Amino acid sequence: MPKLLQTISELREWRSAQKSRVVLVPTMGALHEGHLELMREARRIAGSDGCVAVSIFVNPLQFGPQEDFARYPRDLESDAGKCQSVGVDVIFAPSAEEMYPADRSIIVLETRLSKILCGASRPGHFDGVCTVVLKLFNLINPHDAVFGKKDYQQLAIIKRMVRDLNVPVKIIGCETVRESDGLAMSSRNRYLNDEERRQAPAIRQALLKAREHWMSGGRNAEVLQKIFTNHLNQFAPLHRLDYIACVDRATLEPLNEKCEAGLMATAVYFGSTRLIDNLEL
Which residues are known to be catalytic? 35
CA–CA separation, 239 vs 191, rounded Å? 14
Q: Are 174 and 148 in contact (CB under 8 A)?
A: yes
Percentage helix, strand, coil, to 5, in the chain?
40, 20, 40
Q: Which residues pair with 269 in a beta bridge?
A: 240, 274
Q: Which residues 6+ apart lie within 8 Å of 19 measured at CB?
A: none
Q: At what angle do helices 8-16 and 125-140 cross, to 10 degrees?
A: 50
By DSSP bridging, strand 239-248 and strand 262-270 are: antiparallel
Element (H, E) at 25: strand 22-27
CA–CA separation, 207 vs 17, rounded Å? 47
Judged by phi (left if over 0) then psi (alpha if -120 to 50, else beta), residue 277 lies in beta
Alpha helix ranges (H) inside 90-184: 96-99, 118-121, 125-140, 152-164
Give the other-Cβ count within 10 Å of 33's Cβ: 12
